[in-house]
Structure 1
Amino acid sequence: MQFAAKGHRVTGADVDAGVVASVNDGVAPFPGEEGLQERLKEAVADGRLTATTDTAAAVAGAEAVVLVVPLFVDPRGEPDFGSMDRATRAVAAGLRPGTLVSYETTLPVGTTRDRWAPLLEEGSGLAAERDFSLVFSPERVLTGRVFADLRRYPKLVGGIGPASAKDGTRFYECVLDFDVRDDLPRDNGVWDLGSAEAAELAKLAETTYRDVNIALANQFARFADRAGIDAEAVIEACNTQPYSHIHRPGIAVGGHCIPVYPRMYLWNDPEAGLVRTARETNEGMPDYAVELLAETYGDLEGAEVLVLGAAYRGGVKETAFSGVFPTVQALRRHGARPYVSDPLYEPAELEALGLPPHTGQPVTAAVLQADHAAYRELAAEQLPSVRVLVDGRRVTDPALWAGVRRVVIGDGAVQR
């Protein structure tokens, strides 16, 4: 939609026929993205945007190709390149001389040059850098505010050679808008980082930093619970000093990025013990939240517990690596009977995700997993049989939970 808004004719390609049909009908295939539905309907109506399942045909008619197919890692931390390999071969089948190919999917360092370039060359008979341009340019946007983030942050580009870098820079200058910013070392816009590898590392580095930062905040929170200290007050005080930017602690780190990309970095740099420890710390927070519940509630065997929030973060209908899954598993290990509710999901949708939906069953405990805005108004009277609430995101109003043991991760009110 951003590209189409700049006057370009855009074709979206996807293997999901339902997504393609939705786009061609002018209906956003996912809710919650600010400004998307209005722009989509207009662009489809005037012919600037169409969608297809025939990727090769779409590539054959394109001057630039942008790939955003997700790349995940398996439980051992190994990247699963299967979907990206298939997408790359489909692109290669339609690739013509003079085309720019840009990978925006976050990748391990070296993937663009060492994996995608050979696949594209093999499938097309063309040579990268000589016959077509190839760059890596990472997405740096957050779901729900994509258009704003595209304007705010510099667009990073790294080519496999100078010709590719030049073409990639020119393309993104033609399809993006940038806000004026005075807090950058150089003008906002497209930044050529000098190589595909540098751009790949930049994306991994900024995401891994966030994971390590959150892990540090979680470590502070766990200590604060033992020491009877409010970690959030401490963090707020620390962050008044310009060299400190400690993130907030919480029950889980979810989404497509932070739980995944540090694993990709570790695949490149297996000796990065700090990164590995941070990832393990964050992965352990759902268990920690359930332990807090058990210590406050007592034996959870047979207890019916409601998990509030299936989404990985508030306001987003997305469960990628959501903390709901390990939280439900931890409750079951303690012998509890968990249920899940979420204002964005119907019970049938939760069932399809393998989550037991809450349909009015009485529950005696609750664990808040997602920071939906609706939970700020949630009150004890809406869950009248609940004796203990563990707020994993510090969003509930204590005044609304009189008579209930309310436990907040890191507030130190329940010393361990």
Structure 2
Amino acid sequence: MNICVVALGKIGLPLAVQFASKGHRVRGADTSKRVVDLVNDGVAPFPGEAGLDAALGTAVSAGLLTATTDTAAAVAESDAVVVVVPLFVDADGIPDFGWMDDATRAIAAGLRPGTLVSYETTLPVGTTRDRWAPMLAEGSGLTAGSDFFLVFSPERVLTGRVFADLRKYPKLVGGIDAASAARGVAFYESVLDFDDRADLPRPNGVWDLGSAEASEMAKLAETTYRDVNIALANQFARFAGTAGIDVTKVIEACNSQPYSHIHQPGIAVGGHCIPIYPRMYLWNDPDATVVRAAREANADMPAYAVSLLADAYGDLTGANVLVLGAAYRGGVKETAFSGVFPAVEALRARGAVPYVADPMYTTDELIADGLPPHEGQPVTAAVIQADHAEYRTLAAADLPGVRVLVDGRRVTDPARWDGVRRIVIGA
């Protein structure tokens, strides 16, 4: 097949490489000339994706993957189009469709009869049928479901391990009609590899959920579940901390039987997914009080962690405090909705002078993100925001002068912090 992948970001580029690895000819379309030039040179435009560098080089060298800024032209050459353009929500939880609208219009301009279009970007329920189908039809002059085929098939992978996750989890597909669904299932069966171990709870592969709406809701539901579960763990942790109980032992005990799957508490929930998709769900279902309360509980955790610091340290006015970790999670160079931003603001609100350090970021990169870089300034307190592997061996000697450490991820070794008040969430 000829396949177009629209948006060569941290999900789109690995997908394009995966499709090429199955022998298909892939055109990647992106609005960034820098990204396009790097991909055409066989160079990944971002670090940290396991296996991407070698696989990208192989695909480009074989002539199976090229990139362009002309989306319409790439679509016109393709039998299938996969869309992975980001979608965010604003401060009021309203989706901002701007980038996706632009991409969809460009796709419509190149759309040919018989082409399959698959949206993988997480969407509010009803968007594929009610927004993209009419927009594609209007821009192309073709009829959805007869002239071209349209499905929603959510990405279900984590950055850093995309190729492994593509093999591990079933691929969900929902079409706007039966013909679209059949085309979508056949497409994904031809471009993905699946783990067929006998011990999997259900057969892996491509699952037709019966409608685009069901597929859209499945992605929102699985991510919202994680947010609600983490919020529950955080609520347990906050109570345990007041009662002198180690919440991790409680969670381990609860999860020893098959009906409990409590997640781990922590200082923040970040990234492109968990902080955003519950708000998309709330846009569809504003009466979902459990979802709303969970989102508010998780959003409050950075300020809560800073309150723990203040309780142990005393008045933070004028205190130099180091926040360790700009990334939203360990080992991933990404600050999207990272807890570092509300943590810094909470410190400033208490009069502290915050600094930020992260082994994955340079001083200039921190400044570009609006974060105050730590450049050797003396500090008397520290907060661990990201669970980078480097922090597992961090010790009091590495931060001379620090009197209080709040480990928001339980990543540090308590034996290395003699002489420092070390605080964890939920103990």
TM range (shorter): over 0.9
Q: What does residue 255 of structure 2 align with?
A: 239
> Is 1:369 aligned to residue 393 of structure 2?
no
Shift in Å, 1:320: 0.6
Could you tell me how far apart the structure 2 residues matched to 1:320 and 1:182 are?
Answer: 37
Q: What does residue 419 of structure 2 align with?
A: 403
- SS of corresponding position for 1:349: helix
Shift in Å, 1:17: 1.1
Could you tell me how far apart the structure 1 residues matched to 2:40 and 2:355 are?
Answer: 37
Q: What does residue 112 of structure 1 align with?
A: 128
- Opposite residue 308 of structure 2, the aligned amino acid is L
Q: What does residue 129 of structure 1 align with?
A: 145
Shift in Å, 1:184: 5.2
> Is 1:102 aligned to residue 118 of structure 2?
yes
- SS of corresponding position for 2:66: strand
> Is 1:288 aligned to residue 288 of structure 2?
no
Could you tell me how far apart the structure 2 residues matched to 1:95 and 1:181 are?
Answer: 39
Q: What does residue 54 of structure 2 align with?
A: 38
CA RMSD, 1 decimal: 0.7
> Is 1:153 aligned to residue 169 of structure 2?
yes
- Opposite residue 419 of structure 2, the aligned amino acid is G
Q: What does residue 65 of structure 1 align with?
A: 81
Could you tell me how far apart the structure 2 residues matched to 1:137 and 1:169 are?
Answer: 10
- SS of corresponding position for 2:344: helix
Q: What does residue 202 of structure 1 align with?
A: 218
- Opposite residue 144 of structure 1, the aligned amino acid is G
> Is 1:382 aligned to residue 398 of structure 2?
yes
**Structure 1 stretch displaced more, 179-188 or 86-95:** 179-188
Could you tell me how far apart the structure 1 residues matched to 2:251 and 2:269 are?
Answer: 18
What residue ranges of structure 1 are gaps of 5+ in the alignment? 412-416
Could you tell me how far apart the structure 1 residues matched to 2:61 and 2:200 are?
Answer: 38
1:154-169 to structure 2, matched below 5 A, reads 154-169=170-185
Could you tell me how far apart the structure 1 residues matched to 2:198 and 2:153 are?
Answer: 23
Shift in Å, 1:187: 2.1
Shift in Å, 1:182: 4.0
- Relative to structure 1, the CA distance from residue 291 to residue 39 in structure 2 (aligned partners, 3 Å threshold; closer, same or farther) is same
Could you tell me how far apart the structure 2 residues matched to 1:273 and 1:187 are?
Answer: 34
CA-to-partner distance for each residue in 1:198-236, whole Å, 9 max, x for gaps? 000000000000000000000000000000000001001
Could you tell me how far apart the structure 1 residues matched to 2:198 and 2:294 are?
Answer: 33
> Is 1:298 aligned to residue 314 of structure 2?
yes
CA-to-partner distance for each residue in 1:45-89, whole Å, 9 max, x for gaps? 111111111000000001000000011000100000001000000
- SS of corresponding position for 2:117: strand
Q: What does residue 414 of structure 1 align with?
A: none
Q: Identify the match of residue 285 of structure 2 among 269, 275, 282.
A: 269
Q: What does residue 337 of structure 2 align with?
A: 321
Could you tell me how far apart the structure 1 residues matched to 2:243 and 2:170 are?
Answer: 42
Shift in Å, 1:181: 3.8
Indicate the percent of aligned positions where both proteins have the same amino acid: 78
Could you tell me how far apart the structure 1 residues matched to 2:56 and 2:314 are?
Answer: 52
Shift in Å, 1:405: 0.4
Could you tell me how far apart the structure 2 residues matched to 1:387 and 1:18 are?
Answer: 45
Moved >6 Å (runs of 4+): none
- Relative to structure 1, the CA distance from residue 404 to residue 185 in structure 2 (aligned partners, 3 Å threshold; closer, same or farther) is closer
Q: How many residue pairs are counted as aligned between the two chains?
A: 411
Q: Identify the match of residue 142 of structure 1 among 150, 158, 162.
A: 158
Could you tell me how far apart the structure 1 residues matched to 2:27 and 2:404 are?
Answer: 52
- Relative to structure 1, the CA distance from residue 190 to residue 212 in structure 2 (aligned partners, 3 Å threshold; closer, same or farther) is same
Shift in Å, 1:313: 0.2
Q: What does residue 99 of structure 2 align with?
A: 83
What residue ranges of structure 2 are gaps of 5+ in the alignment? 1-16
> Is 1:177 aligned to residue 193 of structure 2?
yes
CA-to-partner distance for each residue in 1:25-58, whole Å, 9 max, x for gaps? 1111111100000001111111111111100000
- SS of corresponding position for 1:281: helix
- SS of corresponding position for 1:164: helix
Could you tell me how far apart the structure 2 residues matched to 1:139 and 1:359 are?
Answer: 39
- SS of corresponding position for 1:318: coil
Could you tell me how far apart the structure 2 residues matched to 1:18 and 1:225 are?
Answer: 49
Query: What is the TM-score of this pair, normalised by structure 1?
Result: 0.98
Could you tell me how far apart the structure 1 residues matched to 2:248 and 2:411 are?
Answer: 12
- Opposite residue 118 of structure 2, the aligned amino acid is S
